[in-house]
Amino acid sequence: MTMANGKSGTLTKRDGTGISDDQAVALLHRMMEIRRFEEKAAEMYARGKIHGFLHLYIGQEAVATGAISALRDNDYVVSHYREHGHALARGLDPKRVMAELFGKETGVTGGRGGSMHLFDVSKSFLGGYAIVAGHMPLACGLGLAEQYKGTDRIAVNFLGDGAVNEGEFHESLNLAAVWKLPLLFIVENNFYGMGTAVQRVSALVEVYKRAEAYGIHAEQVDGMDVVAMHDTVARLAQRVRSGDGPVFLEAICYRFRGHSMSDPEFYRHKDEVERWRALDPIEQMKRRLFDAGVIAEADVARMQEEVDQIAQDAAEFAEQSPAPSRESLMRDVYARSPKLEEDGRA
C-alpha cells in the first residue's frame, strides 16, 4: 500500500510496540471488507438468496479484525453465531463464505453449516456455534489439547454478553482457571443479548469482573477502536502463551443492525443507536489515518472500490455455484474409521 504522504510508523508506539502504518491500513481495509460483505449479505437476504438466520457483524468489525490480526496463524479461533467477521478476519475466502450463506456446494462447509456454522480447519478457524456459551467448553478442550501436547498454541474464544449468564460460561472459566489452560476469552459486550439489555438480566453488569471472581486476569477495552483491540490482544495473547493460564477481555462495542434480519428493534432507542454510530470503528480509523497523514481520501475511495468488488465477486460466485447434490445428504454423519475398516469392523 502506497501511503499518501510517504510517512511511516505513525501508529507505532515509542516503545516499539503497536502496529506499522501498513498494518494499520490493512486493518482498515479488513474492516471495510467485512462491512461491505455484510451489507451485500443483507441485500442477498432481502432478495431471497439467503435464508434462515442471518446475524450481521456491522458495527463490531474492530473487535474481530483487531483481535485476530494479533494472533498467530495456527492459534485456534472459536466463535459464536455472529461470526462472518471473524471468519473473514481469519482469512477465509469471502467467496466461499458467501457461498455458504447461499447454501451452496462451494461454501466453506458445502452448504451444511450455514451462516452460524462456518468452519475452516486449514485456517484454525474452528467454527461458529449457535448455542449461546455452548462453544466455550470446546475452546477449553482445544487449549487443553495444546497444553497436553506441550505446544505454545493458544485458543481464542469469542462470545457475546448474552453468554455470561449461561452455566457453561461459569464452568468453562473455572476449568480454564484451575487447569491454567492457554485460553483467551473475548466477550463482545454490545449491551444486548438479542433484545434484552444487559442490566435487565445481569446482577453484575461489568462483565470482566465475573472472570476476576475465578482468579482470571481480566481487562476491558474499547471494542470500537481497532488499534486498541490489536494492541491489547497482542499483549494478552503473549501472556496466555507464556503458560500462566487464561485471560479474559471484555470488548465494549455496539451492533448497528438488528439482532438478526427479522429484528424490528423495539427494545432500543434510535438516539442510542445514533450515538454509537458516531463511534463507527471504520470512520474512526479513517479519521485517525487521515489525521496522521497515512492515507488520503483517494486511498479510501480506492479501498472502497476494492471491497465493493470483493463483495460483488463473492455474491456472483455464490449465485453461480451449484447446490449440493441431494445424494450427498447422508455423507459425513459418521467419520470414516480407517482402523475399523482394516479388519472389517466398520
Partner 1 sequence: MPEITYREALRQTLRYQLQNDDRVFLMGEDIGAYGGSYAVTKGFLEEFGERRVKDTPISESVVTGAGIGAAMAGLRPMVELMTINFSLLAIDQIVNNASKLHYMSNGQITVPLVLRMAGGAGSQLGAQHSHSLEGWFAHVPGLKVVVPATPYDAKGLLMTAFDDESPVVFIEHTALYAAKGEVPEEPYRLPFGRAEIMRQGKDVTLIGYSGSVHQAYRAAQQLAEEGIEAEVLNLRTLRPLDIEGIVASVRKTNRAIVIEDDWKFGGFGGEVVSIIQEEAFDYLDAPILRCSGSDVPMPYSHDLEQAALPQEADIVALAIDLLEGVTR
- Options 2, 16, 291, 334; binder of partner 1; rule CB under 8 A: 334
Q: Does 327 bind partner 1 (CB under 8 A)?
A: no
- Calculate the CA 124 to chain-centre distance: 13
Q: Does 127 bind partner 1 (CB under 8 A)?
A: yes
3-state DSSP call for residue 175? Answer: helix
List binders of partner 1 among 137-156 (CB under 8 A). Answer: 137-146, 148-149, 155
Give the cell for residue 37.
Answer: 460483505
Smallest separation, CB 327 to partner 1 (Å): 15
DSSP 192-203: EETTEEHHHH-S
Task: Name the residue type at position 174.
Answer: N
Is the C-alpha dihedral spanning 329, 331, 335, 340 positive or negative? positive
**Measured distance CA(237)–CA(243) in Å, rounded:** 10
Stretch that binds partner 1, among 53-61, 216-224, 241-249, 334-342 (CB under 8 A): 334-342
List binders of partner 1 among 70-99 (CB under 8 A). Answer: 76
Q: What are phi and psi of 246, to 5 degrees?
A: -75, 160
Q: Does 187 bind partner 1 (CB under 8 A)?
A: no
Considering the complex, state which of residue 109 and residue 304 has its C-beta at the smaller distance from partner 1.
109
Stretch that binds partner 1, among 244-252, 257-265, 267-275, 336-344 (CB under 8 A): 336-344
- Options 38, 75, 120, 188; binder of partner 1; rule CB under 8 A: 120
**Measured distance CA(160)–CA(261) in Å, rounded:** 18
Q: Does 112 bind partner 1 (CB under 8 A)?
A: yes
Considering the complex, state which of residue 146 and residue 222 has its C-beta at the smaller distance from partner 1.
146
3-state DSSP call for residue 289? Answer: helix
Q: For residue 302, count other CB atoms closer than 10 A to its CB.
A: 12
Considering the complex, state which of residue 135 and residue 286 has its C-beta at the smaller distance from partner 1.
135
Considering the complex, state which of residue 6 and residue 338 has its C-beta at the smaller distance from partner 1.
338
Smallest separation, CB 22 to partner 1 (Å): 32
Q: Does 34 bind partner 1 (CB under 8 A)?
A: no
- Options 174, 196, 220, 260; binder of partner 1; rule CB under 8 A: 174
**Measured distance CA(59)–CA(284) in Å, rounded:** 12
Is the C-alpha dihedral spanning 335, 338, 339, 342 positive or negative? positive
Q: For residue 114, count other CB atoms closer than 10 A to its CB.
A: 21
Cβ–Cβ < 8 Å for 32, 301: no
**Measured distance CA(117)–CA(84) in Å, rounded:** 10
Considering the complex, state which of residue 175 and residue 198 has its C-beta at the smaller distance from partner 1.
175
Residues in contact with partner 1 by CB under 8 A are 76, 108-110, 112-113, 117, 119-121, 126-127, 129, 131, 134-146, 148-149, 155, 167-168, 171-172, 174-175, 178-179, 331-340, 343-345
